[in-house]
Amino acid sequence: MEEEFEFGFTEDPKFSVERYEEMIRNHDQYFFDAQAFENIIDYYIEKNDPAKALQVAEYARNQHPFAAVFLIKEAQLLVVSNKVPEAFAALEKAAMLEASDADIYVIRGNLYESMERFSEALENYEKALGLAEETDEILLHIAYVYQNMGDYETAISYLKLCLKQNMENQDALYELAFCYDVMDNQQESVQFYQQYIDNEPYSYAAWYNLGNAYTKLSLFEKAIDAYDYAILIKDSFASAYFNKGNALVNLEKYAEAIEVYRQTFEYEQPNADTYCAIGECYEKLEQMDDARAFYKKSVKMDPKLADAWFGIGVTLDFEERYFEALHFYKKALDLDIANADYWFAIADAEYKLGHMDEAEQAYEKVVELNPLDIDAWLDYSSILYEQQRLVGAIEIISQAIKNNPEAAELYYRMVAYLFAKGDYNEALNQLETALSSDPEKHYILFDYLPQLQTNKVVVDIINRYTK
C-alpha cells in the first residue's frame, strides 16, 4: 500500500526537491502544498530542465486541481518547448479558474507576439495592464510590439511610461536608445538621457546611452565624458571602455585608445573585435609589427572577422609586400564579397604588382559597389591613361561625373585627358566647368599635365576665375 506524506512550504525549497525526487524514485505518493510545488518547479526552471518542471506542474495540477498557478506555469513551460496549441489550451483553463491573473494575458500576449499577430498581442497586454500590480515589464512588451510594427514613436512613448514606473529598467533604457537610433533622432535621445540623469545620476546605463548618442552626433569629447561617468559608476563596464576607445580613435588619439581597449580585458575575456580595434590603432600609428600581431590574435579567435584579415593585408602593403598583402585582402573579400574598400585595396595591390588586367577588373567592381568613391574613379581612369587608352579613360571619367556631378576633381582630370587626346575645344569647355565648380583645385590639372602651365590660353582662363 502506498504511503502518503504531506510537505508544506515552511521547509527549505531544497528539502522539497529532495522529497519530490525521493517520491519519484520510490513510486510513492506524497502530498505537497501549492507553495512547495511552486518551489520545485522554479528549481527545475533554474536548472534549465523544462521537461522535469513540466512533469512537476502536471503532478501539482492533480493534487491542486483548482490552482490556476500550475496551469500558468505549464503554459510558460509549453511556450519554451514550442508547444503553442497546448500552451493556449492551458491558458484557457487557467482563465476559467482565475480570470483576474495578469500572467495569463502576458503569456498569451507573448504567444501572439511571436506569431506576429500584433493586434491580439496588444489586446492581451492591455488587459494585463489593468490587472497587474507591477506593470513596467508589460509596458516594455507593448513597446516591443510597436517596434515590430515599425511604429517607433508609439514604442518610445511606452518605453518612457515603463521607465516612469521603474527607473531601474535597463532593457527599457537600451530599447529607447535603439528606437531613437532607428529614427535617427539623436538630439532627442540626448535630451531624454540628460533629463533622466538629472533624476537618476547613478544610472550607468543612462550615461552609456548618452555617450552613444553623442558618438552618433560626432561629439566625441562629450561622448568620452559620458563613458567616463558610466565607468566611474560601474568600473567593470567593458562596453563603456570599448566605446570610449572608439571615440578616442575618432579623435585620432590612438595611443590612448589602445590603453582603454586593453582595460576591457580586466573585466571580460579578450574578444576578436577588441583585438582587431587595437590592431587598427597600431596600424594608424604605423607600428605595423604590433598591428599585425593583434590582427593575428583577432583572426585566431574569430576566423570569420573579415576586417582583421584585411588589416593583416594593410600592414604588409605598408611594407611594400604587395603579393602577400593580396593574399590577405582576398581572404577578407571571401568573407565580405560586396565590400568596396576590400576591392579597392586589391585593385591597388594588383596595380603595384603590374597586373593591369586584374587591377582594372577590381576597380570596375569598386565603382559598381560604390559609385560615389571619387578616388576609385580617378585611379581606375588613370590605369587606362597610363596604357595610352585615352578613349577608355575619358569614358570612365564621364561615368564618374554622371555619378558625382559636384566633384570638381573629376572635371579637371577630364580636361587633362582631353588635352592629351588633342580635343582642345572640348578640353577648354570642361576647364570652364571645372573652374566654375571649384577654382581652387586647378592645381590638379598641372599635377597631371605640368606642360599646361606654359599654355597661355589655359593660364588666361584660370586667371579669369582665380583673380
For the record, the C-alpha cell of 112 comes out as 501572439
Residue closest to 256 by CA, chosen among 268, 269, 246, 266:
246
Q: What are phi and psi of 31, to 5 degrees?
A: -105, 130
Please check whether residue 146 is in contact with residue 158, taking contact to mean a CB–CB distance below 8 angstroms.
yes
| H or E stretch at 14 | helix 13-26
Q: Left if phi > 0, otherwise alpha if psi is -120 to 50, otherwise beta: which for 161?
A: alpha
Torsion angle of alpha carbons 380, 386, 391, 395, nearest 10°? 10
Fold exhibited by the domain 185-251: 1.25.40
The CA distance from 368 to 344, in Å, is 11
Q: Is the pLDDT of residue 455 over 50?
A: yes
The CA distance from 335 to 331, in Å, is 7
CA angle (153, 158, 160) in 5-degree steps: 95
Name the residue type at position 454. Answer: T
Q: Is the pLDDT of residue 342 over 50?
A: yes
Q: Is the pLDDT of residue 6 over 50?
A: no
Q: Is the pLDDT of residue 4 over 80?
A: no
Our measurement of the distance from residue 222's CA atom to the centroid of its chain's CA atoms, rounded to an integer in Å, reads 21
Instruction: Determine the pLDDT at residue 26.
Output: 62
| 105-123: burial string, b at 16+ Cβ within 10 Å, e else | bbbbbbbbbeeeebeebbe
Q: Is the pLDDT of residue 459 over 70?
A: yes
Give the helix, strand, coil percentages of the chain, each rounded to 5. Answer: 80, 0, 20
Residue closest to 216 by CA, chosen among 253, 255, 177:
177
For the chain, give every domain's residue range.
185-251
Q: Is the pLDDT of residue 201 over 80?
A: yes
Question: Which of 2-16, 75-89, 93-107 has the least mean pLDDT?
Answer: 2-16
Q: Positive or negative CA dihedral for 305, 310, 311, 312?
A: positive
Task: Please give the residue that has the higher pLDDT: either 31 or 123.
Answer: 123
pLDDT bin (cut points 50, 70, 90) of residue 22 is low
* 3-class DSSP assignment, residue 7: strand
